[in-house]
Amino acid sequence: MAWEPDQAGGAGRPTHRAKVVRAPRKEGPRIQPDLVGKQQFQGKHPGDRYVRVIRQHSGDFAHAGPGHLVATEEALEARGPVGRGFGRIKRLLIGPPLSTAQAAHERLTKTKALAVLSSDALSSVAYATEEILHVLLLAGLAALTYSLHIGAAIVVLLFFVGISYRQTIKAYPAGGGSYIVAKDNLGELPALTAGAALLFGYIVTVAVSIAAGVAALISAVPDLHGHRVSLGLGFILLVTLLNLRGIRESGSIFAVPTYLFLAGILGMIALGLVRNAADGFDARPPIAPDGEVIAATGSLGLVLILTAFSRGCAALTGVEAISDGVPAFQPPEWKNARATLTWMIGILAVTFSGITFLAHQYGIVPLAANHPGGYETVVSQIARAVFGGVNPADYDFQFATLAIQILAANPAYSDFPRLAFFLARDRYLPRQFTFRGDRLAFSTGIVTLGILSGLMLAGFGGETGRMIPLYAVGVFTAFTLSQGGMIARWIRLKEPGWQRGLAVNLVGATATGIVTIVVGVTNFRKGAWIVIVLIPVLILMFRSIARHYANAAGELAEQTPLDPKDIEHTVIVPVAAINRVARQTLAYARSISDNVTAVHVTDDEAEIEAMREAWDKLGTDVPLVIIESPYRSLVGPLLAYIDEIDQQRPNDTLTIVLPEFIARHWWEQLLHNQTALRIKAALLFRPGTVVTSVPYHLERHTGTAGGATGSTGLGRRM
Amino acid sequence: MAWEPDQAGGAGRPTHRAKVVRAPRKEGPRIQPDLVGKQQFQGKHPGDRYVRVIRQHSGDFAHAGPGHLVATEEALEARGPVGRGFGRIKRLLIGPPLSTAQAAHERLTKTKALAVLSSDALSSVAYATEEILHVLLLAGLAALTYSLHIGAAIVVLLFFVGISYRQTIKAYPAGGGSYIVAKDNLGELPALTAGAALLFGYIVTVAVSIAAGVAALISAVPDLHGHRVSLGLGFILLVTLLNLRGIRESGSIFAVPTYLFLAGILGMIALGLVRNAADGFDARPPIAPDGEVIAATGSLGLVLILTAFSRGCAALTGVEAISDGVPAFQPPEWKNARATLTWMIGILAVTFSGITFLAHQYGIVPLAANHPGGYETVVSQIARAVFGGVNPADYDFQFATLAIQILAANPAYSDFPRLAFFLARDRYLPRQFTFRGDRLAFSTGIVTLGILSGLMLAGFGGETGRMIPLYAVGVFTAFTLSQGGMIARWIRLKEPGWQRGLAVNLVGATATGIVTIVVGVTNFRKGAWIVIVLIPVLILMFRSIARHYANAAGELAEQTPLDPKDIEHTVIVPVAAINRVARQTLAYARSISDNVTAVHVTDDEAEIEAMREAWDKLGTDVPLVIIESPYRSLVGPLLAYIDEIDQQRPNDTLTIVLPEFIARHWWEQLLHNQTALRIKAALLFRPGTVVTSVPYHLERHTGTAGGATGSTGLGRRM
């Protein structure tokens, strides 16, 4: 009912309003006030009341039952032109919002999943052979032939890891990343270690992949050299935006180039094998290009072989993506995921062994990054040897490498947000990581990954070489913990066939454990120490977040009853001048409590008497306290006064009712000091103060003095 | 009284609290709650109540009378470490706050006033002669001799203007800038024209002076060339900060260099005259340096003479500073100001005529800015001729020029804020310009001037030559309007001796009017058009600001009585989960109204039934409405619901009571979604919605489950 008795006689429900100043926002059916008059709400049971409230409704809601509304897409629309503008840009970039019910449609088919989740592993395979050859080269050209033995060992390990993950997927059909497996079988500390190692690993993966992609682009277009970092950040932004569009849509976008790259690699291997077979599988002796003499700087011992093996194990990174991503598959999730994993392992085995074999057969020697004749990858050298000389396929291969490297960043964009979701669900990360965005993707995780990997890329100046040592330790730590978790599980549950599973995981855990140690030791000074320092820091962070949530939940759960009747109010109203805003605010304050004090802060001694007289004329029963502020500060003395009153009445609930003057336009708002905002900001972190903003919205004046026209009903503006 | 009945038996005033969680901020005397128990407030007259409230107090306040406190400096201290840190930095930069009562001590002595207010005029004199010579040179070297005649005319005009301003100071002892004089005698439009012209003029003055100072510095240290703009912005920041320290302190800082420069100039003139007298006042013929041949491009006509005259009138700019700044003088203000003006006019006449005469006698030819042998000012050429050749005084003179140019920006820092104060007092500018800062200076004006002149400097790339054409039109428009105002005043009031005064002002107005037109026409295409466009725009802005304030004041002054009993409340409480925060907020909402509805927005269909059951267990009489949000948005559906209810109950006062969870540390705050903040932001510009924040401050938990210990009394935290 109106604040002003000139409208409806003061008491009783008004049957008619002369004019409603604010136009209704929508053209939906306008509700007749008498349909929802207040007295009708007083049902027998308090729950009866809301039935009436929602009896009729605009397009914003559908009615689902008593006291139960379902918001439509219309209700999402932002109010105000600025908000609508932002909304439109957001839709343009990431697409219209999807409802939660659409989640099942957003699942990945096996074909798309293979593209989305295997690009990281595929790109690892492309350089794993090169890593092996680089290490062997330290023992001279002749040592390169051992790449065949090491490659064979890695393929065997790949099969073990593959079988192991097939078991994991079956055991954890709701998603079995290292964190989940370690948590379920080994306890909190191993789980958090795996979580920290993987989160950091994903950030490095994105930074390294994008940086490598940019390096490939720059070697094709050298003019771009000076823009390395900004190009990298641009690609990260692009991949982030694509992933915000949702997993299915990004799957469609990424599928084509992944399969094209795969076709190219497989075609190259097939043609190479055929040509080599035609030569009677004759292996050319390795010859350094440009007739360079390569001196052996080390001898071929166990350490060198182990190092070459662990470097080659890079081929295994990315294999875990599918077992992490089981929930993204179409149902039956675990079966589809397992089939996709089998395909992926097969493809990896073929490509890795094919590349390693052809490199040996064609006598390829890996080049140093600063090779005087220009650097070229081992795969590119093979392609040149297979396709022969000045084929245009050669040039295309640089772009294919660029593409697959950029794509290699993509699985991390599925895995990081999902792992962050699991950690946040267990309260080790902020709750925001559990929210699904407009497109049902975990937006917070995607954006966080984009920002952190962008910072890393910029921090390392976009140089791949400086970031790679950070990479493997974390990933293999997580691998080992995952295998270890499965070992514990076999022993604990002793399911049928557990001996075979245990054997597979024992081999896997031993091999990945050795790789972890070798990689950690050999790269320690080149950057692996950062990971070894960072993981405990992250674990501490996870734990203190969990402690905070536990404390908060504990405190909030207390069931002490609260009776509104026990609340004693002390209300303070800061008053700048005696005008309509102040009177409206005072009336509001008095309507919620009879213990109201008005406070006027002034820097003008001369004004005090006039203020007091005007106050007495007001005829209110609210007392006025005047605070003289010789230093002209308003907020300081007001806060000091509130502190004072609070100390005097420690058991009361203190409410500060602030008059807030809202102009029609932002530029008009600048003409008024933002005192209310400043007071609100100062009170925000003051314990135990309720802050009430009573807005006064200035009307569009057209000359007549309002009031009598009935169009200035405060009930409308309050 | 406590919210929790376990503390004080639910009803009745508690006599003792087990423990107060929050430590009192100060060590001041702690007030016993029973001294100010609520029932004691109920005096016969409402005014009696506040007497008790402030009976005892900490160091924050002194008690000045019933309901009248005076805040001490202690009450200004910011709460919280961040606020205190800012406070400390502010004090370091601009000094401790001064109380309003100290204003009289901040006035300027005549010596300081001369330094603060005349540096602009002094620096103008230093280049006025050069401007005359440049114009005359167009008619050939021989025409330079006319500089003596033009100089004499300008000195005569200087005396007229000086006498005129002496009269203005007497007539307007409270400050008689052009705006005031025009407003008092000519009406609103001429006053606003003068105001706009001067405000813009001051901004240009600062930008030009600083840019010229930087140019002098760069010609001494050419390595700094690339840093022109950042050096200029640095000097503007420095001058701004010095002026924020208050007028007296900046006066002390600026007095020494001004007087040093003055002594240098006067010494040069004296020595030059003596040497020239020793040569029998023999005038050397002007010879272009480096034997350059200067061809006359025009003939010596009236236009050329008028142009040279109006350029030379630059010597007059800055003269108005003292009449604007009368209120800054020690009492008797107008007498001190008048004496200072007389001194200033004398000094200007001596320096201007001395420089003009010596330039003629030593046959100085002004150099183009891009002179191949290196540019040198006329004053510097004179100094070299007088002091002779390779004197170290020569090099020092560059730095003195730098200093006086930087100083020349300073009067604008007194005049702009004061003029803005007058305009804001008359409601043509935002009210904030009337506030005095910590050091009693008009901080808003000072900061605004710093920002706008910095933008101008940066916008014109710090090039003096491009900004000078913007300068003179505005200043001379204001001069002419001021003189015109005085003419109108003489005719209107006919005070004793009005004929003499009228004659002086008629000459002054005619001369400055001619200068205005000549300057406007000759510089029109070089930039004066900007001024001619800008002044009407500024006037429109002044007027719409005044209109806004008038409308607001009119609307706010309406005396419709407001009775708190007429307010019908509709209260909506958004509830995220049923926990202590929610229960506290619901209890608060119910204590202010019995028409409360709780709203729960969820994106999880499965959760709805559990929520409803938990609600029923709560045993509250507040009905719960559940909104299902299939698009997972929280704010959109909530706002749509509020709109809906508002449409249904148009005469009620709508209050949204928001539970606000406040963690102990900012990093903990990040762990909770900022939903309350987002809802508040969305509601800020929604007309007619009262927003109440009920904070819940998380405690520092130490393991025990609170509650029973009595240390979690909500009365403390609410």
Mutate to test the interface with B, among A57, A82, A543, A625 (most CBs of B within 10 A): A625
Cross-chain residue pair A687–B716, CB shorter than 8 Å: yes
- ipTM value for the complex: 0.74
Classify residue A232: in a domain, yes or no.
Answer: no
* Residue type present at position A291: G
Classify residue B230: in a domain, yes or no.
Answer: yes
Distance between CA atoms of residues B635 and B601, nearest Å: 9
Smallest Cα–Cα separation from A101: which of B625, B609, B608, B628? Answer: B628
Distance between CA atoms of residues A475 and B481, nearest Å: 79
Q: How confident is the model at residue A393 (pLDDT cuts 50, 70, 90)?
A: low
389-408 in chain B: CB under 8 A from chain A:
none
Minimal C-alpha gap between B548 and chain A (Å)? 7
Q: Which of A557, A707, A716 sits opposite B688 (nearest CB)?
A: A716
Residue B708 has pLDDT above 80, yes or no: no
Q: What is the CATH number of the domain that holds A682?
A: 3.40.50.620
30-69 in chain B: CB under 8 A from chain A:
30-31, 33, 35-36, 38, 41, 46-50, 53-54, 57-58, 60-61, 64, 67-69
In B, which residues are within 8 Å of A687 by CB distance? 22, 662, 695, 697, 716-717
Query: Mean pLDDT in chain A?
Result: 79
Classify residue B35: in a domain, yes or no.
Answer: yes
Structure tokens at A316: 């295994």
Smallest Cα–Cα separation from B435: which of B427, B425, B426? Answer: B425
Bridging pattern class, strands A653-662 and A569-574 = parallel
Please compute, for residue A309, the number of CA atoms within 13 A of its CA located in the half-sphere on the CB side: 24
Q: Are residues B594 and B538 in the same domain?
A: no
For residue A102, what is the nearest residue in chain B, using CA coordinates? Answer: B630
In B, which residues are within 8 Å of A38 by CB distance? 568, 595, 649, 652
A-to-B residue pairs, Cβ atoms closer than 8 angstroms: 496
Cβ proximity of B113 and B336 under 8 Å: yes
Q: Are residues B135 and B201 in the same domain?
A: yes
Q: Are residues B409 and B433 in the same domain?
A: yes
Q: Is the dihedral of CA B26, B29, B33, B39 positive or negative?
A: negative
Q: Are residues B486 and B593 in the same domain?
A: no
A681 touches chain B (CB under 8 A): no
Q: How confident is the model at residue B32 (pLDDT cuts 50, 70, 90)?
A: very low
Q: What is the DSSP string of A332-351?
A: SHHHHHHHHHHHHHHHHHHH
Q: What is the DSSP string of A642-667?
A: HHHHHHHSTTSEEEEEEEEEE-SSHH
Q: What angle do CA A469, A470, A471 make, to 5 degrees?
A: 90
Cβ proximity of B438 and B90 under 8 Å: yes
Phi, psi torsion values for A332, nearest 5 degrees:
-70, 115
Domain boundary among B512, B546, B580: B546
For residue A662, what is the nearest residue in chain B, using CA coordinates? Answer: B685
Classify residue B99: in a domain, yes or no.
Answer: no
User: ω into residue B332 within 30 of 0, thus cis?
Assistant: yes
B458 touches chain A (CB under 8 A): no
Minimal C-alpha gap between A563 and chain B (Å)? 6
Distance between CA atoms of residues A703 and B485, nearest Å: 33
Cross-chain residue pair B623–A46, CB shorter than 8 Å: yes
Place of tokens 């052009």: B178
pTM: 0.72
Cross-chain residue pair A631–B13, CB shorter than 8 Å: no
Q: Are residues A67 and A117 in the same domain?
A: no
Q: What angle do CA A659, A660, A666 make, to 5 degrees?
A: 165
Q: Are residues B144 and B270 in the same domain?
A: yes
Domain boundary among A53, A75, A97: A75
A52 burial (CB, 10 Å; 0-12 / 13-18 / 19+) is middle
Residue A573, SS3 per DSSP: strand
For a pLDDT cut of 70, what percent of chain A falls above it? 82
Q: Are residues A264 and A321 in the same domain?
A: yes
* Interval B67-81: pLDDT, tens: 788 877 777 676 666
Domain boundary among A51, A75, A99: A75
Q: Are residues A64 and A144 in the same domain?
A: no
Q: Which of B60, B671, B687 sits opposite A640 (nearest CB)?
A: B60
Minimal C-alpha gap between A600 and chain B (Å)? 10
Distance between CA atoms of residues A461 and A467, nearest Å: 10
A551 touches chain B (CB under 8 A): yes
Query: Which residue stretches of B362-442 are H helix?
Result: 378-387, 392-408, 410-425
Classify residue B100: in a domain, yes or no.
Answer: no
Q: Which residue has better confidence, B306 or B66? A: B306
Distance between CA atoms of residues A27 and A525, nearest Å: 68
* Interval B554-602: pLDDT, tens: 877 766 667 788 888 999 999 888 888 888 889 899 998 889 999 998 8
> What's the N-to-C CA distance of chain A in angstroms?
11
Classify residue B103: in a domain, yes or no.
Answer: no
Cβ proximity of B618 and B579 under 8 Å: no
A707 touches chain B (CB under 8 A): yes
Classify residue B335: in a domain, yes or no.
Answer: yes
Cβ proximity of A417 and A441 under 8 Å: yes
**Candidate from A63-67, A391-395, A625-629, B290-294 with smallest mean pLDDT:** A391-395
Place of tokens 């245990």: A502
For residue A611, what is the nearest residue in chain B, using CA coordinates? Answer: B68
| Distance set, CA B239 to CA A501, A710, B413 (Å) | 78, 54, 8
Q: Which of B70, B649, B687 sits opposite A22 (nearest CB)?
A: B687
Q: What angle do CA B671, B676, B680 make, to 5 degrees?
A: 140
Bridging pattern class, strands A596-602 and A569-574 = parallel
SS (H, E, C) A93-139: HHCCCCCHHHHHHHCECHHHHHHHHHHHHHHHHHHHHHHHHHHHHCC
Mutate to test the interface with A, among B426, B444, B562, B571 (most CBs of A within 10 A): B562
Q: Specify the pLDDT at position A397.
A: 63
Cβ proximity of B93 and B241 under 8 Å: yes
Inter-axis angle of helices A471-493 and A188-220, to 10 degrees? 140
Number of neighbours of residue A576 by Cβ within 10 angstroms: 17
Q: How confident is the model at residue B191 (pLDDT cuts 50, 70, 90)?
A: very high
**What residues pair up with A65 in beta bridges, in sequence order?**
A68
B91 touches chain A (CB under 8 A): no
Give the containing element (helix H, strand E) for A435. none
In B, which residues are within 8 Å of A633 by CB distance? 71, 75-76, 97
Smallest Cα–Cα separation from B574: which of B527, B639, B664, B505? Answer: B639
Classify residue A475: in a domain, yes or no.
Answer: yes
Cross-chain residue pair B587–A564, CB shorter than 8 Å: yes
Q: Which of A49, A78, A554 sits opposite B705 (nearest CB)?
A: A554
Give the containing element (helix H, strand E) for A540. helix A528-557
Q: Are residues A507 and A577 in the same domain?
A: no
Q: Which of B630, B631, B639 sits opposite A79 (nearest CB)?
A: B639
Q: How many domains does chain A have?
A: 3
B540 touches chain A (CB under 8 A): no
Mutate to test the interface with A, among B569, B670, B673, B690 (most CBs of A within 10 A): B690
Q: Which of A561, A631, A688 sits opposite B76 (nearest CB)?
A: A631
* Interval A302-351: pLDDT, tens: 888 888 888 888 888 888 888 888 888 888 888 999 999 999 999 999 99
**What residues pair up with A627 in beta bridges, in sequence order?**
A601, B69
Mutate to test the interface with A, among B30, B44, B76, B82 (most CBs of A within 10 A): B76
Minimal C-alpha gap between A610 and chain B (Å)? 13
In B, which residues are within 8 Å of A551 by CB distance? 698, 701
In A, which residues are within 8 Å of B678 by CB distance? none
Q: Which of B46, B565, B566 sits opposite A2 (nearest CB)?
A: B566
Which range has the top average pLDDT, A279-283, B1-5, B309-313, B467-471?
Answer: B309-313
A649 touches chain B (CB under 8 A): yes
* Interval B233-280: pLDDT, tens: 999 999 999 888 887 777 788 788 888 888 888 988 999 999 889 888
Distance between CA atoms of residues A502 and A110, nearest Å: 28
Q: Specify the pLDDT at position A107.
A: 83
Structure tokens at B551: 């409308």
Q: What angle do CA A620, A8, B562 make, to 5 degrees?
A: 15
Where in the sequence is the domain holding A51, given as residue range(s)?
31-75
B648 touches chain A (CB under 8 A): yes
Distance between CA atoms of residues A651 and B34, nearest Å: 11
592-631 in chain B: CB under 8 A from chain A:
592-593, 595, 597, 601, 603-605, 608, 612, 616, 620-631
Minimal C-alpha gap between A633 and chain B (Å)? 7
**What residues pair up with B329 in beta bridges, in sequence order?**
B108
Q: Are residues B373 and B463 in the same domain?
A: yes
Q: How confident is the model at residue A50 (pLDDT cuts 50, 70, 90)?
A: very low
B27 touches chain A (CB under 8 A): no
Minimal C-alpha gap between B93 and chain A (Å)? 17
In B, which residues are within 8 Å of A612 by CB distance? 67
Mean pLDDT of the A51-79 span: 66
Cross-chain residue pair B592–A592, CB shorter than 8 Å: yes
Cross-chain residue pair B46–A623, CB shorter than 8 Å: yes
**Candidate from A69-83, A375-389, B235-249 with smallest mean pLDDT:** A69-83
Q: Are residues B461 and B541 in the same domain?
A: yes
Distance between CA atoms of residues B135 and B137, nearest Å: 5
Residue A262 has pLDDT above 70, yes or no: yes
Cβ proximity of A669 and A704 under 8 Å: no
In B, which residues are within 8 Å of A715 by CB distance? 568, 650-653, 688
Q: Which residue has better confidence, B295 or A13? A: B295
**Candidate from A542-551, B457-466, B514-523, B677-686 with smallest mean pLDDT:** B677-686
> What's the N-to-C CA distance of chain B in angstroms?
11
Bridging pattern class, strands B569-574 and B596-602 = parallel
Q: What is the CATH number of the domain that holds B128?
A: 1.20.1740.10
Minimal C-alpha gap between A61 and chain B (Å)? 8
Q: Are residues B339 and B453 in the same domain?
A: yes
Distance between CA atoms of residues B606 and B561, nearest Å: 51
A549 touches chain B (CB under 8 A): yes
Smallest Cα–Cα separation from B687: which of A717, A700, A2, A710? Answer: A717
